[in-house]
């Protein structure tokens, strides 16, 4: 099940529709993916159980299948450097 790409703003605007979907969403911000939304299908609000959590975990595993660890680490380091550069002139 391929993930769809959705911006943070669009996710916020359409948040109510995402839990009804079976498709994971790669949440993007300025071209980077800071997170992935994996819906857990529930029949009733009180029915959250182990099988539903396992289904959500399997969906996450499938969504992350094409990601290489080296690429992820390099992207993280790059984002961290950009964050440090933008914070250099700010008071903490």
pLDDT tens-place string over residues 48-58: 677 788 888 88
Instruction: Report the alpha-carbon distance of residue 44 to residue 27 in Å, rounded.
Output: 26
Phi, psi at 7, each rounded to 5°: -75, 160
Q: What is the pLDDT of residue 71?
A: 84
- Tell which phi-psi region holds residue 84, choosing left (phi > 0), alpha (psi between -120 and 50) or beta: alpha
pLDDT at 91 over 60: no
Residue 92 has pLDDT above 80, yes or no: no
Q: What is the pTM of this model?
A: 0.43
CA distance 20 to 32: 25
User: Is residue 76 pLDDT above 70, yes or no?
Assistant: yes
């Amino acid at each position: 099940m391929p993930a769809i790409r959705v911006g943070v703003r669009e996710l916020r605007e359409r948040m109510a529709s995402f839990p009804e979907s079976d498709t994971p969403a790669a949440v993007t911000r300025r071209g980077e993916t800071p997170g992935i939304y994996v819906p857990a299908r529930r029949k009733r609000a009180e029915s959250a159980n182990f099988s539903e959590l396992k289904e959500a975990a399997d969906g996450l595993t499938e969504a992350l299948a094409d990601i290489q660890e080296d690429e992820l680490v390099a992207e993280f380091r790059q984002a961290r450097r950009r964050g440090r550069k933008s914070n250099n002139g700010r008071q903490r």
